[in-house]
Amino acid sequence: MVRVVAAFVGAAVVSLGLVVPTSAFAVGCYGSTCDNKGPVAMGCNKDAVNVRGTTEVMLTYSKACNAYWVFSTWAPQFWDSTLYVERGYYNATTKQYTNIKRLQIAFSPGETAEWTNMLGSYGPNNEGFLGVRDWHGGDGVKYTGWHCHKRGCPPWV
């Protein structure tokens, strides 16, 4: 009798494991392996959340990919625009971000691309990300402000 109950419970656990998916969707990179890869091509856009900015320039994050990129609904409307995404590390002594890595994409007339490639999170508490749109022929530079990935940098920078 004990053997029959154990077999039944074991079969139920196995069948439940087949019914429940392990993830909602697959992505092509995670964290630092996302550096300079496209969010759409890697599937990171599927859970994208805008964490800072406006429609002019938005810093966007994917939890599934643990990566950031900049998205803009305005940049393609203006020729000679550039979008930047930056990753830096907050230095509490100098109160500045250092060791900044930047990715950018420039727009020409007629282009419809609206996002940069990604910069993945490497994980330190003082890591921050920034989005920038620079319209060289018009209203200048717009910033999202730094977004602290964890809690090791101040929210006011």
Q: How would you write the pLDDT of the chain (157 residues) with one tens digit per residue?
A: 444 433 333 344 333 333 333 445 789 999 999 999 999 999 999 999 999 998 778 999 999 999 999 988 765 565 677 889 999 999 888 888 999 999 988 776 666 657 899 999 988 788 999 998 887 766 678 889 888 888 767 655 4
Within the chain, strands assigned E span: 49-53, 58-62, 67-71, 81-91, 96-107, 119-120, 127-135, 140-143, 147-148
Which runs of consecutive H residues, i.e. helices, occur in the chain? 2-19
| Cα–Cα dist 130/105, whole Å | 15
Cβ atoms within 10 A of the Cβ of 146, count?
21
Report yes or no on whether pTM surpasses 0.85.
no
| Cα–Cα dist 84/134, whole Å | 8
